[in-house]
Amino acid sequence: MRLAAVVIALTVLLLITVHIRQATHRVFYRVRGAYTSQTRLVQEISRKQLQLESYLSPQVLKQNIREQ
């Protein structure tokens, strides 16, 4: 009877361990995906900021005024 209880307890413990490890992996990949998306968005914002700054540079503004 004691042996059966020990076997059942160890089986439950191993099942819980496997479940926790799988949950940890899922969370890790979600966080990593979010970080990758965030990095991509930051790069896109930086690119757009540089593009906007190029439109507002004094040389480009002078050239636009001359053309008009």
Q: What is the pLDDT of residue 44?
A: 97
pTM of the predicted protein model? 0.60
Question: Dihedral sign, CA of 58, 61, 65, 66?
Answer: positive
Q: What is the pLDDT of residue 62?
A: 73
What does the pLDDT look like over 2-60, one tens digit per residue?
999 999 999 999 999 999 999 999 999 999 999 999 999 999 999 999 988 888 777 77
Q: What is the pLDDT of residue 32?
A: 97
The answer to whether 54 and 60 are in contact (CB under 8 A) is yes
Domain ranges in the chain are 2-67
